[in-house]
């Protein structure tokens, strides 16, 4: 029995029972990015899922979606453009957008600088929940050509949680510690000094470990 069959798959099935859509790519290294709803393995936001979900969340009083294709692309760019920022600063900036993103105008009502819902926190059932396993991310210029988090959890096409699955056994005596170490590698934080309390408070943890 493998880590995939004993930990990863059961967790995906639990999520499915809770109403999540799942994309199970199996245990092998993915070679086709379209299976995980992307054009290439450098993308980490799911463009079509994002556009469809965010458009559906932002409607007028009579139920008409008001965001234009250009505005939906601009919202994606607001999330993706994080120049010269540390990981912590990027997380803080994106978190602010999740609570208050804006576009130039509502072209149906004329409202200027309207706030856009990227996630409906008041009505969770209005959001699209998706889990994808073996979520490959290419990392050109790094020691490893790519990383493959075991499971990535998306809300409206936005990745919010990375899950690392570990199975205890002769080669993994402490699965929780190994999963945590793997997550630290993804964040490139193994050699960093401990983060201050203020920094921890400012940025929510978006990773978790599932062990068996």
Domain count across the chain: 1
For residue 125, how far is the Cα from the chain centroid?
Answer: 18
CA neighbor of 154 nearest in space, from 73, 40, 52, 10? 52
The structure tokens listed for 62 are 């009579």
Pick 212 or 181 by higher pLDDT.
Answer: 181
Q: Is the pLDDT of residue 106 over 80?
A: yes
pTM for this model (two decimals) = 0.82
- Using 50, 70 and 90 to split pLDDT, how confident is the model at 52? very high
Cα torsion 199, 204, 205, 206 to 10°: value is -140
Pick 79 or 191 by higher pLDDT.
Answer: 79
- Candidate from 46-50, 98-102, 199-203 with smallest mean pLDDT: 199-203
CA neighbor of 50 nearest in space, from 130, 178, 158, 191? 158
Q: Is the dihedral of CA 156, 187, 132, 73 positive or negative?
A: positive
- Using 50, 70 and 90 to split pLDDT, how confident is the model at 168? low
Phi, psi of 53 (to 5 degrees): -70, -45
Q: What is the pLDDT of residue 193?
A: 39
What's the average model confidence in pLDDT over 110-121? Answer: 98
On average, the pLDDT of the chain sits at 85
Burial grade of 94 (CB within 10 A; 0-12, 13-18, 19 or more): buried
pLDDT digit string (tens) for 55-91? 999 999 999 999 999 999 999 999 999 888 887 898 8
Range of the domain at 179: 3-211
Task: Give the DSSP H or E segment for 164.
Answer: strand 158-166
Q: Is the pLDDT of residue 197 over 70?
A: no
Q: Is the pLDDT of residue 191 over 80?
A: no
Q: Is the pLDDT of residue 208 over 80?
A: no
Q: Which residue shows structure tokens 């409202």?
A: 111
Task: Please tell me the distance from the alpha carbon of residue 22 to that of residue 135, in angstroms, as a whole number.
Answer: 12
What's the average model confidence in pLDDT over 41-51? Answer: 98
């Amino acid at each position: 029995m493998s880590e995939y069959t004993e930990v990863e798959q059961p967790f995906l099935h639990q999520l499915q029972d809770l109403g999540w859509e799942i994309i199970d790519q199996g245990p092998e290294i993915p070679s086709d990015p379209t299976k995980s709803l992307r054009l290439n393995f450098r993308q980490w936001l799911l463009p079509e899922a994002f556009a469809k979900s965010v458009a559906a969340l932002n409607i007028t009083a009579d139920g008409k979606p008001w965001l234009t294709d250009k505005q939906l692309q601009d919202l994606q760019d607001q999330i993706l453009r994080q120049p010269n920022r540390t990981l912590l600063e990027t997380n803080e900036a994106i978190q602010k957008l999740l609570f208050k993103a804006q576009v130039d105008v509502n072209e149906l009502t004329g409202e200027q600088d309207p706030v856009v819902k990227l996630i409906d926190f008041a009505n969770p059932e209005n959001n699209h929940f998706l889990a994808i396993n073996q979520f490959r991310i290419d990392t050109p210029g790094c020691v490893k050509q790519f990383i493959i988090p075991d499971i990535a959890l998306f809300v409206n096409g936005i990745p919010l949680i990375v899950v690392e699955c570990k199975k205890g056994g002769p080669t993994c005596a402490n699965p929780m510690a190994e999963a945590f170490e793997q997550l630290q590698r993804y964040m490139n934080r193994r050699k960093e000094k401990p983060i201050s309390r203020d920094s921890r408070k400012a940025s929510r943890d978006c990773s978790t470990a599932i062990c068996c």
